[in-house]
Chain A
Amino acid sequence: DAKTTQPPSMDCAEGRAANLPCNHSTISGNEYVYWYRQIHSQGPQYIIHGLKNNETNEMASLIITEDRKSSTLILPHATLRDTAVYYCIVGNYGQNFVFGPGTRLSVLP
């Protein structure tokens, strides 16, 4: 079973920030938090990952709480092309990733 819990769906207005939450209360000390997204009929696309510090790249920001039991993925200026299913995964490199149902983000014009 997946070690993460995400809301099944969210809406976001185009141009606004999309904040996607994820709970991972049973995360182990050496496990990373990964975020991927899947656009219809495509393979999952890597977005960002982190261990304990907040991370930012050209796609998104990842905010991890100090106790590491939850995190938030932030898409700063959502576009229609960001409509996808977003998966939050905890695990280690080299091991298989266990996918939950994810959050279906709909960016609305």
Chain B
Amino acid sequence: GAVVSQHPSWVICKSGTSVKIECRSLDFQATTMFWYRQFPKQSLMLMATSNEGSKATYEQGVEKDKFLINHASLTLSTLTVTSAHPEDSSFYICSAGPTSGPQETQYFGPGTRLLVL
């Protein structure tokens, strides 16, 4: 199946700093990518929808100025957690589906674990 990668796989940062997480579709192009967040022992919760060449769409309760999303190409979306605080510590996961060719499903990245001290 298609491959979605994320970088870094884990990151530890100090409170108040910013962290950038990359999501790449390795063997297909994706007009739309999705960013999820997962807290311990909970399910995945959608944060935002990333659209190539346009502004992201954020879910209710997700601060767009805190979680900056850039989808500059058909294979890369980035999520920047600005002024991170300990409550932002979580498992961040992206997903994407091919824009062309056989479609019908989405593929998820391996996730990025963020720990804010």
A residues at B contact (CB < 8 Å): 32, 34, 36, 41-46, 49, 87, 93-94, 96-102
B residues at A contact (CB < 8 Å): 1, 4, 6, 32, 34, 36, 43-46, 49, 91, 93, 95, 97, 103-111, 113
A-chain residues with CB within 8 Å of residue B91 when the two chains form the complex: 41
> Contact between A43 and B43 (Cβ–Cβ < 8 Å)?
no
Chain A: which residue is nearest B46 at the CB level? A96
A-chain residues with CB within 8 Å of residue B109 when the two chains form the complex: 43
> Contact between B105 and A99 (Cβ–Cβ < 8 Å)?
no
Chain B: which residue is nearest A101 at the CB level? B43
With A93-B97, A98-B46 already in contact, the answer to whether A42 and B104 are too (CB < 8 A) is no
A22, chain B: closest CB distance, angstroms = 14
A71, chain B: closest CB distance, angstroms = 15
Q: Which of B34, B36, B44, B104 has the most CB of A within 10 A?
A: B44
With A96-B34, A99-B44 already in contact, the answer to whether A42 and B105 are too (CB < 8 A) is no
With A43-B108, A46-B108, A49-B105 already in contact, the answer to whether A97 and B95 are too (CB < 8 A) is yes
> Contact between A42 and B106 (Cβ–Cβ < 8 Å)?
no
B-chain residues with CB within 8 Å of residue A46 when the two chains form the complex: 1, 105-108
> Contact between B44 and A44 (Cβ–Cβ < 8 Å)?
yes
